[in-house]
C-alpha cells in the first residue's frame, strides 16, 4: 500500500533558509506581519488535510472514477470526494491566498503553492477541482467587471462554487484560433452561447452547488483566428439578483472521457445549447484575459508533477530499504539475510536520487516562482513588480514543461524500483505514472511550452529577460567564488550559462533565415534552460547546506549529497541536448511527408 508524509522539513528549508520568505514578505505591505511560525503552522495543518483526508481517497478514486447519468447529465465523483471537498471549504482552505475584499485570507501565493504540492501528492485528480476554481478566480479578479466580481468572486473564494476553463473543441486544441463556439448578443446585454467543448476538466460533478464555466467563443462579427475570440462567464445555474442559485442554464455534460489516468477527475464533453453568458473584458480580447487562468494553470500543472514525484519517491525509497534481492557487488551487506536490500545497488540508488533531486529542485523552483508572483502583486514599487512579472513570464513554461517531463521520468524510475511489483496495481506505483502522463499534454503541450520559451520569451525580446536571469546567476557566483567548497557547483553552473548564451545566439541567427529552426531546437532548448535554472537553485541550496555542514544535522548532509548527485549525474544531460539542438532542422525535414 502506498504511503505519504508531507515533506514539511524540506519545505521549511526552501522557504526559510533558501528563499528567506519572511524577509521578502516584510517588504510587501500585505504580508509584512507574516512570521515563520504562522507559515509553518499553516503548512502543517495543510499537510494533515492532504495526508489524512485526501490521500486515503486516491486509490479508490482511480479504481471507481467518475460516472455520468445520461438522463440527468449528472456526474458522480468517486466515494469520499464530495465530503472531502466540503471539509476543504469548511476549513477555509479554498480562500487561503484569495483577496480579503472577497472573503479571502490574503495569505501569500507562496504558501498556497506549497499547500497545493501536498494536495497533488495526496490526490491529483481531486486537487484539479479546487485548482481550476482558483484559476477562474484569478481570471475574474483580473478582468471581471465590478458586478461580475461581486457576484462570483466571494463564492469562488470560499469554494462554494467551482470553476472550469472551456477552451478545447474537437477540431481546436493547440490552435484555439480555430474554435467555433458562437455567442449571439441579446437585447439585455447578455449572450446566448452555442457550441461543443471537449476535455473539460471538472466540467460537471456533485461537489459544489454551482459551476462557473469560463468559455471562449466567437461573436458574430469576430475576425477569424485568435484575434476573434471572446471570454464569457457561463454558470451551470443562473445566479439570481440576491446571489442565490436559480434555474438551470443551457450548458450540460454530454459525455465523460475514459482515460489513462486521473480517473477521479471528470473530463467532460460540454454542450452549450443557447446557454446564457456574460462577456468578460473586451470583445475579441478573450484569449488575453484567459491567459491569466492559463498561466495560473500552467504553474499548477508543474506542481501536480512535483507532487507525484515526491510521493512516488517516498514509496520507492521505503520499498528499496525493505526489498531484498541479490548481493551487493562489493560483497554481502546484510549478512544475517539471504540477500541484501536493493538499496545497495548503484542503479537503484540512481533511480531514487534522480527522483529526489527532481522533487527537491522542483520544490525550490515552484516556490521561487510563487514568491515572484507575490512580489509582482505586492511589492511597493512598480519597477520591482514589473521585474518580478517578467521573471514569472520567463519561468512559467519551464515550470510547466521541465517539472512535468521530470515528473514523468521520476515516477517511471520509482515504479522501476519496485520491479514487477511496480507494474501491478497493488503498490499504487503505476497510478502515479498514469496520472502524471497528462501533465505533459494539457495546458499547452510541452512542445508548445518550449516554443513559447524559445520563440516568444527569449528570441522575442532578443534574450533580454534571459540575460537578466544570467546576471542574477553571475551575481550569486561572484558572491560565493572565494569559497573553495562552492567551486564544484559554480564552475559547471557558469559553464552552462555560457553555453546557453551561445546556443541562444546560434539558434536566433539560424532562425532569421529559417523560422523552422526554432521548432527544431525548442524542446531540447527548454530542457537545457530548465537545467540551468535547476543548477542555480541547487547551487543556492548547496550554499545553505555547506554553511550548516558542522551542525550535525543529517538533513544538510543529505542535501549536499543530493546536490552533488544532481551536478554529477543529471546536469551532464545538457551536453547531448545542446548537440541535438545544434543539429538543427535538416535531419527532421529531410524526410518527405509521404515517406512516413
Ligand X SMILES: Cc1cc2nc3c(=O)[nH]c(=O)nc-3n(C[C@H](O)[C@H](O)[C@H](O)COP(=O)(O)OP(=O)(O)OC[C@H]3O[C@@H](n4cnc5c(N)ncnc54)[C@H](O)[C@@H]3O)c2cc1C
Residues that bind ligand X (CB under 6 A): 165-168, 173-174, 199-201, 259, 267, 438, 441-445, 447-448, 451, 519
Decide: residue 552, CB within 10 A, 0-12 exposed, 13-18 middle, 19+ buried. Answer: exposed
d(CA 173, CA 85): 30
State the Cα–Cα distance between residues 340 and 330, nearest whole angstrom: 11
- Supply the minimum distance, in Å, between the C-beta of residue 115 and ligand X: 21
* DSSP-assigned beta bridge partners for residue 193: 183, 275
> Which DSSP string do the residues of 561-586 spell out, in sequence order?
HHHHHIIIIITTHHHHHHHHHHT-SH
Residue whose CB is less far from ligand X, 119 or 451: 451
* Closest CB 298 distance from ligand X, rounded Å: 11
Beta carbons of 76 and 147 less than 8 angstroms apart: no
Give CA–CA dist 280/545, Å, rounded: 48
With respect to ligand X, which residue has the nearer C-beta, 261 or 463?
Answer: 261
How far is C-alpha 153 from the geometric centre of its chain's CA atoms? 23
Residues designated catalytic: 443
Task: In whole angstroms, give the CA distance from residue 551 to residue 577.
Answer: 39
| Contact between residue 116 and residue 303 where contact means Cβ atoms under 8 Å apart | yes
Query: 237-239 and 182-185: which strand pairing?
Result: unpaired
191-201 and 182-185 beta bridge pairing = antiparallel
Q: Name every residue whose Cβ is closer than 8 Å to that of residue 254 and which is 6 or more positions away in sequence.
A: 73, 196, 268, 269, 270, 271
Query: Between residues 148 and 445, which has the closer beta carbon with respect to ligand X?
Result: 445
Length, in residues, of the chain: 596
Minimum gap (Å) between residue 421 Cβ and ligand X? 27
* Other beta carbons within 10 Å of 127: 27
Separation in Å, CA 185 to CA 102, 166, 193, 249, 490? 29, 19, 9, 16, 60
Q: Supply φ then ψ for residue 98, to 5 degrees.
A: -85, 165
Nearest residue to ligand X on Cβ basis: 173
> Nearest distance from residue 50's CB to ligand X, in Å?
22
**C-alpha grid cell, residue 250:** 443551457
Long-range contacts of 581-584 (CB under 8 A, 24+ apart): 581/503, 581/507, 581/520, 581/521, 581/524, 581/525, 581/528, 582/503, 582/506, 582/521, 584/510, 584/517, 584/520, 584/521
Q: Measuring CA to CA, which residue among 426, 430, 444 is closest to residue 293?
A: 444
323 touches 337 (CB < 8 A): no
- Residue placing its CB nearer to ligand X in the complex, 107 or 216: 216
Nearest distance in Å: CB 39, ligand X: 31
Whose Cβ is closer to ligand X: residue 168's or residue 354's?
Answer: 168
Find where cell 554553511 sits.
547
* Residue 247 near residue 50 (C-beta atoms within 8 A): no
Q: Which is nearer to ligand X, 134 or 356 (CB)?
A: 134
Among 161, 165, 220, 172, residue whose Cα is nearest residue 192: 220
Closer residue to ligand X, CB minimum distance, 391 or 404: 404
CB closer to ligand X out of 304 and 368: 304
- What string of DSSP letters covers 452-502? IIIIIIIGGGTTHHHHHHHHHHHHHHHHHTT-GGGHHHHHHHHHHHHHHHH
User: What phi, psi does 380 have (nearest 5°)?
Assistant: -70, -30
- Residue bearing cell 525493505: 322
**Residue 176 contacts by C-beta under 8 Å, 6 or more apart in sequence?**
167, 216, 226, 229, 287
Instruction: Closer to ligand X by CB, 135 or 470: give it.
Output: 135
Task: Identify which of residues 78 and 361 has a Cβ nearer to ligand X in the complex.
Answer: 78
Nine-digit cell at 532?
540551468
Amino acid at each position: 500500500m502506498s504511503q505519504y508524509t508531507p515533506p514539511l522539513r524540506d519545505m521549511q528549508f526552501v522557504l526559510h533558509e533558501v528563499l528567506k520568505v519572511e524577509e521578502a514578505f516584510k517588504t510587501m505591505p500585505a504580508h509584512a506581519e507574516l512570521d515563520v511560525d504562522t507559515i509553518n503552522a499553516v503548512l502543517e495543518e495543510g499537510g494533515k488535510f492532504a495526508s489524512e483526508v485526501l490521500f486515503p481517497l486516491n486509490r479508490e478514486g482511480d479504481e471507481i472514477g467518475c460516472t455520468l447519468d445520461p438522463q440527468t447529465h449528472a456526474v458522480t465523483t468517486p466515494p469520499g470526494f464530495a465530503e472531502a471537498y466540503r471539509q476543504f471549504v469548511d476549513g477555509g482552505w479554498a480562500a487561503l491566498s484569495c483577496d480579503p475584499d472577497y472573503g479571502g485570507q490574503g495569505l501569500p501565493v507562496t504558501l498556497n503553492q506549497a499547500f497545493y504540492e501536498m494536495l497533488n501528492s495526496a490526490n491529483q485528480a481531486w486537487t484539479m477541482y479546487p485548482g481550476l476554481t482558483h484559476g477562474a478566480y484569478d481570471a475574474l479578479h483580473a478582468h471581471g467587471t465590478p458586478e461580475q466580481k461581486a457576484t462570483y468572486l466571494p463564492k469562488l473564494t470560499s469554494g462554494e462554487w467551482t470553476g472550469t476553463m472551456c477552451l478545447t473543441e474537437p477540431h481546436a486544441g493547440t490552435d484555439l484560433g480555430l474554435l467555433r463556439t458562437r455567442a449571439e448578443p441579446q437585447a439585455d446585454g447578455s449572450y446566448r452561447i452555442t457550441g461543443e467543448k471537449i476535455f473539460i476538466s471538472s466540467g460537471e460533478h456533485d461537489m459544489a452547488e454551482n459551476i462557473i464555466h469560463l468559455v471562449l467563443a466567437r461573436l458574430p462579427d469576430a475576425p477569424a483566428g485568435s484575434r476573434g475570440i471572446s471570454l464569457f462567464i457561463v454558470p451551470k445555474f443562473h445566479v439570481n439578483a440576491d446571489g442565490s442559485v436559480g434555474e438551470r442554464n443551457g450548458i450540460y455534460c454530454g459525455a465523460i472521457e475514459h482515460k489513462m489516468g486521473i480517473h477521479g477527475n471528470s473530463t467532460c464533453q460540454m454542450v452549450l445549447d443557447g446557454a446564457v453568458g456574460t462577456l468578460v473584458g473586451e470583445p475579441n480580447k478573450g484569449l488575453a484575459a484567459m491567459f491569466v487562468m492559463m498561466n495560473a494553470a500552467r504553474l499548477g500543472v508543474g506542481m501536480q508533477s512535483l507532487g507525484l514525484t515526491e510521493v512516488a519517491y517516498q514509496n520507492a525509497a521505503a520499498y528499496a530499504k525493505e526489498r531484498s534481492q541479490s548481493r551487493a557487488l562489493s560483497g554481502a551487506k546484510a549478512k544475517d539475510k539471504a540477500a541484501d536490500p536493493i538499496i545497495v545497488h548503484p542503479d537503484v540508488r540512481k533511480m531514487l536520487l534522480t527522483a529526489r533531486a527532481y522533487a527537491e529542485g522542483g520544490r525550490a523552483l515552484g516556490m521561487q516562482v510563487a514568491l515572484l508572483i507575490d512580489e509582482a502583486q505586492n511589492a511597493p514599487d512598480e519597477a520591482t513588480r514589473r521585474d518580478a512579472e517578467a521573471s514569472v513570464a520567463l519561468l512559467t513554461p519551464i515550470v510547466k514543461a521541465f517539472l512535468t517531463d521530470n515528473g514523468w521520468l521520476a515516477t517511471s524510475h520509482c515504479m522501476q524500483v519496485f520491479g514487477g511489483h511496480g507494474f501491478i496495481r497493488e503498490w499504487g506505483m503505476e497510478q502515479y505514472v498514469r496520472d502524471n502522463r497528462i501533465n505533459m499534454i494539457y495546458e499547452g503541450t510541452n512542445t508548445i511550452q518550449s516554443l513559447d520559451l524559445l520563440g516568444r520569451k527569449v528570441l522575442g525580446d532578443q534574450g533580454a529577460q534571459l540575460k537578466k536571469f544570467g546576471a542574477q546567476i553571475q551575481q550569486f557566483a561572484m558572491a560565493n567564488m572565494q569559497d573553495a567548497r562552492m567551486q564544484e557547483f559554480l564552475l559547471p553552473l557558469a559553464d552552462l550559462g555560457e553555453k546557453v548564451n551561445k546556443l541562444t545566439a546560434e539558434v536566433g541567427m539560424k532562425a532569421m533565415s529559417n523560422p523552422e529552426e526554432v521548432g527544431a531546437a525548442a524542446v531540447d532548448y527548454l530542457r537545457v534552460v530548465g537545467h540551468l535554472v535547476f543548477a542555480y537553485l541547487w547551487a543556492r541550496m548547496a550554499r545553505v547546506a555547506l554553511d550548516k555542514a558542522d551542525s550535525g544535522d543529517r538533513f544538510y548532509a543529505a542535501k549536499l549529497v543530493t546536490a552533488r548527485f544532481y551536478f554529477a549525474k543529471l546536469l551532464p544531460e545538457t551536453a547531448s541536448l545542446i548537440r541535438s539542438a545544434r543539429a538543427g532542422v535538416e535531419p527532421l525535414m529531410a524526410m518527405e511527408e509521404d515517406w512516413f
